[in-house]
Amino acid sequence: MKNTLLAAIAVSLILVVVSIVTLFGPEEHASVGPPSLESTAGATGNAVPPATGLCLLKGTEFVGFRVTEPPIPVPGEPFVVGADKLATLGDYKGKGVVLNFWATWCAPCVREMPALSRLQTQLEKDGGGIVVLTLSRDLDGAPVVEEFFEKKQITNLPVLIDKKSRLGAKMKIYGLPATIFIDPDGMERGRVMGSVHWDSKAALDLVKACTARASG
């Protein structure tokens, strides 16, 4: 009887360990805080792999960032602009795009949104060849996003809704926030999982490098 009880306890402990590994194993999860792009050199397990092309800042590592190599075309799945107008990423061809997937219920997303607004302001000052698109997964749609932007006094970011997360599913977005860099030819060049200080110089340099048209 005693041996049977010990065996049952051992099996239970093994199942608990397996569950923990499954939940917190080496998968991509959204960041719980905004890593600085300027101070992450040497971070274990987050080094940018060797890559070719412009979408890599030489000699620097970025938490949550990976190059899309080779670049891939973005999908044509539509999303909602404002209340009911439809658009696709193809409508932005000819511009670099910083595509941010977020939601008002996502704490890291909320923290980085003002910095994304400041990034958009800087990009406009630099000529407007790159745009920030903030694509919300809020089930209640445009009204909740509009209310959030008004509360935060954000006036330069678009109200875009990824209805039923269709575009996010096509782009394999499994956590929030997530940001995709798209070049003027409509090719994904890289992505960042987790929140970032988007108004830092390092982030601005990364955005410009990863939304430039691929050479060659």
pLDDT along the chain (216 residues), means of 10: 51 43 37 41 34 54 83 97 95 97 98 97 95 97 97 97 97 97 97 92 93 78
Instruction: Choose among 153, 171, 154: nearest CA to 162.
Output: 171
**What is residue 63's predicted lDDT score, i.e. its pLDDT?**
74
Task: Tell the residue number behind the tokens 């193809």, with chain if given.
Answer: 90
Say if residues 175 and 12 touch (Cβ distance below 8 Å): no
CA distance 166 to 19: 29
The per-residue pLDDT for 64 is 87
Q: Where are the domains of the chain?
A: 31-210
Against a cut of 0.85, is the pTM above it? no
Q: pLDDT at position 215, please?
A: 67
CATH numeric code, 31-210: 3.40.30.10
Q: Which helix (H) or strand (E) holds 79?
A: strand 79-81
Place of tokens 């977020």: 102
pLDDT of residue 18: 37
Amino acid letter, 83: A
pLDDT given at position 164:
95
